[in-house]
Each structure stands twice: as structure tokens, then as C-alpha cells.
Amino acid sequence: MFGLGFQELLVILIMALLFFGGNKLPEVGGALGKAIREFQRATKEPTTSALRPRETADHQPTENDTTKGRGRA
């Protein structure tokens, strides 16, 4: 996780406790967790939507449509 060891995480936790206080810390942690989940979801979304075929109801095949074969092998 970001290359942080136990000592670094402990220092960050103590600094957060001093900065936000004990009563506000669970609220801040929940908001941080929610932000991380949203960020991960947003970074995964373009790759999953790019792999899905697009469904367009308004597409009408034309004479020059590239998906249509020309009858030659």
C-alpha cells in the first residue's frame, strides 16, 4: 500500500488523531474511505466500458457500412 511501513502508518495515524481529534476521526476515516472507493471505481470504469460493445438503437446500416461484406472472399 503506497510503500508505507508500519512506523510510517503509525506516525500518520498519530498526526491525524492530533489534528482532527478523537471524536472527529471516525467521520474523517469514513469520508476518506468513500473517496478512495469512488476514485477506484472511476479509474476502472473507462476500461470496462471500453471493452463493452456499444448498443446504439439509432444506427441504421448504410450502403457503405464497414460491417457489411462485399460478397468477395
Range of the domain at 36: 24-51
Helix, strand, coil share of the chain (percent; to 5):
60, 0, 40
- The residues, ordered by sequence, that sit 6+ positions from 68 with a Cβ below 8 Å of its Cβ are 61
* pLDDT, position 8: 92
Higher confidence at residue 49 or residue 40?
Answer: 40
CB atoms < 10 A from the CB of 13, how many? 12
Q: Which residue has the higher pLDDT, 59 or 21?
A: 21
Residue with cell 448498443: 55
What's the total number of domains in the chain? 1
Which run of H or of E encompasses 43? helix 25-51
Q: Would the pTM count as exceeding 0.85?
A: no
Tens digit of pLDDT for each residue in 15-46?
Answer: 988 988 888 888 988 998 999 899 989 888 76
Please give the pLDDT value at position 31: 92
Say if 31 falls within a structural domain: yes
Tell me if 36 is assigned to some domain.
yes
